[in-house]
Amino acid sequence: MADSSVSYKCPNCGAPLSFLPGKKTVTCEYCSTEFEVSAIEELFRDKQDMAVHAAEAQEAKWETENAGSEWSGDEAAALHAFTCSSCGAELVCDENTMATECVYCGNPTMIPKRFDGMLKPDFVIPFKKTKEDAVAALKEFYKGHMLLPSNFTANNRVEAIQPMYVPFWLFDSKITARAEFRAQKIRKHSHGDEIITETSHYNCRRSGTMSFEKIPVDGSKKMADDYMESIEPFDYSELTTFSAAYLTGYLADKYDVSAEESAPRADKRVEASAIDVLQSTVEGFDTCSLKSSAIRKDVGKVEYAMVPVWILTTRYDDKPYTFMMNGQTGKVVGSLPYDKTKAFLYPAICSVILIPILYFVILALIY
Amino acid sequence: MMLKKFIGLLTLMIVLSFSAVSAAQLQPVTDDLGLLGAEELKSINQKIKSMEQTHGIKIGIWFTKMKNNTDMITASNNFLDQNFAKSKNGSIVLIVDMNLRKYEMATNSLMLQKITDTDGIPFLKGEFQPALHNGDYYGAANSFVDGVDKLVSYYEKNGQPYGSAPDGIDFAALGGAIIVALLCGLGIRSWLIGSMSNIHHASEATDYLQKNSVNINENRDTYLFKNVTRTKKSSNSSSRGGGGSHGGGGHGGGGGSF
């Protein structure tokens, strides 16, 4: 039976190949031979084609066998089996997995069927941060949080660290924005024993064109939107034309949220920024508020990119805590647990210290 | 020689006795404009003299017309120093200028301890200014004298001037301090808990805006309408601080319009 997956193995010694963070080549960690990305792509292109055919054959067979089995139709549709080309083990992954590693032999494994047609990304931002960088960054992230439980850091062990390429849509748009603002000029002057306040009201119309480039919106249901928006920004100067070789040694998902479904998130951000830009041109007034706005998209372009993310999972009080690190910039995001005793005690101490100070301040104001 | 000495001594005695008579003749209330009736004048003078006996203080009131460029602060200080300075427990005067419809009070250093510029003077203004505004000059003089009586009595009873912090704990202030401190505590707690997470939705795309692509092609401001609101100024606009800043010389005081 033909392999339904491809292992990127060193043509020199046969060991698994990995794309090491910060390097522009694929490196064999065993014999230290370095290969150009294009050379590896060409070398394994035929193997990938074979694997695609094998995977299609297996899928067709699996679906027929699935009838009457213990899996429901939905479950079977979501799960896909493939064989590890290194040890022959049968592995199961979900329908979006593009790259993973064998749980038995640890071999980095690609599933080329998932790269087909329009699913192939346009760009990739290669990993720059290593596993050690991710662990160090997480420890640094713990610092400075006063409410962090003492035994969280003392007994803390990172349960799982996974490097993953997350599918992102990059939206380019050129827009025409129109907005009306209500602005006020306030002038105060004295006359006799009166203070006269004159408030002049103005209607301010603004319109203009502007362009936004590569607004990132993740195309993965598995990844929480707020986490993905929190690891921004990315340095697009390191955006590289996509090659599957970059995915070796990492987990990778294809998108399961289409560009059309993701577009409203980008549109909302564009609208807010466009209004800010127009409002910043309303000058010489004391107050300004938005009355109405209309944003028209003149040109909209979408590109598909794979973005590096380290996913770190730890556990405290039997509850998992997930942190994510931007695999390019090293920015860590996540929510830490807090000690309820400290959360009561520290503000209470502040309040007790404040009471006498405020008491004398109030007395000074009254008398 | 003896004759010269005798004449000199006699002259000195005459001058001194004349001065004493002049001073004794200046009544507490001087009404240059005839605003008060004879009976009213007599009544208010008696009232002030009685109060001067009781508290050991001097009070002077002067209804007059000043020249336009007269400095009311200096005038009130001089009026006090020249006519009412000699008192056991302090002096206070009130000048009412009917020309510019202004008034000014002055206190000496002893009275400043009892009637402060920050609280006592505004209290007195509140007492007599309405009557002055309504043209009730006898009522205004009476209210001023009654106000001084209240403030000096307050000092004699409490050992501190009206408006200063009372001895012991002020429970209203303490309650206010506790409420504000608790609110601050809740704010601090909310901030501390919020700082445990840096997860947030991105609401803008400003990082991805091409700065040189912004082209504003309509920039029009249209005037719509105007609102005018009028508020009365605070009446203590000419009050001068906590004490002793009323033209120097240890004087206190304050004034206003009516």
Note the ipTM here: 0.71
| Most confident region among A51-65, A88-102, A261-275 by mean pLDDT | A261-275
Of B176, B186, B215, the CB nearest to A362: B176
- Give pLDDT, residue A126: 92
Asked whether the beta carbons of A103 and A160 are under 8 A apart, the reply is no
- Whether residue A202 and residue B222 make contact (CB cut-off 8 A), yes or no, is yes
Is B81 contained in some domain?
A: yes
Is B186 contained in some domain?
A: no
What length does chain B have? 258
H-helix segments, chain B: 2-25, 38-55, 72-83, 109-112, 120-133, 137-158, 171-194
Q: Tokens representing B156?
A: 């004699």
Give the range of the structural domain holding residue B122, as residue numbers without chain letter.
26-164+239-257
| Most confident region among A3-7, A234-238, B178-182 by mean pLDDT | B178-182
Provide the CATH number for the domain around residue B136.
3.10.310.50
Asked whether the beta carbons of A150 and A340 are under 8 A apart, the reply is no
Is B50 contained in some domain?
A: yes
The residue-averaged pLDDT of B26-39 equals 88
- Give pLDDT, residue B18: 41
What are the angstrom distances between the C-alpha of B25 and each of B22, B29, B36?
Answer: 5, 11, 18
Residue A133 in 3-state DSSP? Answer: helix
- Whether residue A208 and residue B217 make contact (CB cut-off 8 A), yes or no, is yes
The residue-averaged pLDDT of A19-29 equals 75
Greater confidence (B99 vs A65) lies with B99
Is B41 contained in some domain?
A: yes
The answer, yes or no, to whether residue A20 has pLDDT greater than 80, is no
Asked whether the beta carbons of A303 and A214 are under 8 A apart, the reply is yes
Q: Which of A44-53, A70-79, A344-353 has the lowest mean pLDDT?
A: A70-79
- Give pLDDT, residue B69: 79
- Give pLDDT, residue A3: 54
Domain count, chain B: 1
Is B21 contained in some domain?
A: no
Of A146, A205, A268, the CB nearest to B218: A205
- Give pLDDT, residue B238: 44
Q: Tokens representing A257?
A: 């949220």
The residue-averaged pLDDT of B18-47 equals 78
Confidence of residue B199 (pLDDT cuts 50, 70, 90): very high
The residue-averaged pLDDT of B98-121 equals 90
Q: Which of A48-62, A65-79, A128-142, A255-269 has the lowest mean pLDDT?
A: A65-79
Residues of chain A with Cβ-Cβ distance to B195 below 8 Å are 145-147
The residue-averaged pLDDT of B196-211 equals 92
Is B180 contained in some domain?
A: no
- Whether residue B185 and residue A277 make contact (CB cut-off 8 A), yes or no, is no
- Give pLDDT, residue A99: 66
Report the distance separating Cα A37 and Cα A50, nearest Å: 20
Burial of A22 (0-12, 13-18, 19+ CB in 10 A): exposed
Query: Nearest residue of A to residue B183 by CA position?
Result: A351
What percent of chain B stands above pLDDT 70? 84
Residues of chain B with Cβ-Cβ distance to A197 below 8 Å are 228-231
Is B56 contained in some domain?
A: yes
Per DSSP (E only), the strands in chain A are 6-7, 17-19, 26-28, 34-35, 79-83, 90-94, 97-101, 108-110, 123-124, 158-191, 194-218, 240-241, 251-253, 287-316, 319-326, 332-334
Pick from B134, B70, B118, B59: which is nearest to B94 by CA? B59
- Give pLDDT, residue A62: 31
What residue type is assigned to position A39 of the chain?
A
Confidence of residue A114 (pLDDT cuts 50, 70, 90): low
Confidence of residue B237 (pLDDT cuts 50, 70, 90): very low
- Give pLDDT, residue A65: 35
- Give pLDDT, residue B22: 45
Is B199 contained in some domain?
A: no
Report the distance separating Cα A59 and Cα A93, nearest Å: 13
